[in-house]
Every structure is written in structure tokens, then in C-alpha cells.
Amino acid sequence: AVVSTQSTGVMGVDVCEEPGQIGYDTLTSELRDSYKFALEGKSPGFTTWRMRPVGEEKYTNDCILYSDQQLRVLQALDVPAEKLIGGAKLPNNYCGSDHIPLITDFQRVLAE
């Protein structure tokens, strides 16, 4: 991904890789992960957690990426506590997807 320093962009991404793997690291070399910023350098404990025939799968492979030239992260919605997910994992009656919703509040910073 190549981002112009004159542009402002935000995108939600299912990277299909976790932080530390090449796809995620390549994207975040040009763009910032809003959750890592809001959580002071950490990633959420999970963004998808499901049961498959081969067993349980729990990953952090979703993120909200942004170009930080004109945006400031104000806050990000925390992921649910593990005990709230339940034994059936995701999707469930509260979340219709096997990925949790991610939400970030941004503030636009005006250039001087």
C-alpha cells in the first residue's frame, strides 16, 4: 500500500494475518492501526473467535488502518470480555458475525 502524505484515508481490514506476520506488517508500514494506537502499542486480545470442525480458532486479524497525516485517534471501542462471548463463540445471539465490530473515533487535524 502506498499512501500520499497529502491524503487522508481510513479502512477496515480483515488482514487474515495477525500482527507480526508479513501481510499485516506490510500494511502497517505505510498505515497505522488505530487499535494499536488507542491501546498504547498493544493489539486487542481477539477480533475473531469461532469453533470449526478442527477446533477453536481465536485470532486478532481485523484492524482499522488510517493515514496519520490529518487524523488523530480519540478512542477505540474495547473488545468484549472473553466471558461474554460464551461457549459457542462467534457468531452468537449478540454478534451475527464471527468477527467482532471494531469502532474508532477520529478527529481531523487541520493543517496549519
| Rounded distance between C-alpha atoms, residue 35 and residue 102, angstroms | 9
Burial of 19 (0-12, 13-18, 19+ CB in 10 A): middle
Q: pLDDT digit of tens for each residue in the chain (112 aa)? A: 444 455 678 999 999 888 889 988 898 888 999 999 999 999 899 999 999 999 999 999 999 999 877 899 999 999 999 888 988 899 988 889 999 999 999 998 876 6
What is the pLDDT at residue 3? 46
- The conformation of residue 5, written as its DSSP 8-state character, comes to T
What is the pLDDT at residue 79? 92
Q: Is the pTM of the predicted complex or chain greater than 0.95?
A: no
- The conformation of residue 99, written as its DSSP 8-state character, comes to B
Burial of 4 (0-12, 13-18, 19+ CB in 10 A): exposed
What is the pLDDT at residue 9? 85
- The cell numbers describing 60, all together, are 486478532
What is the pLDDT at residue 6? 59
| Rounded distance between C-alpha atoms, residue 43 and residue 39, angstroms | 7
What is the pLDDT at residue 13? 92
What is the pLDDT at residue 94? 85
Q: How far is CA 105 from the centre of its chain?
A: 13
CA angle at residue 19 from 49 to 34, to 5 degrees?
A: 90
| Rounded distance between C-alpha atoms, residue 24 and residue 8, angstroms | 20
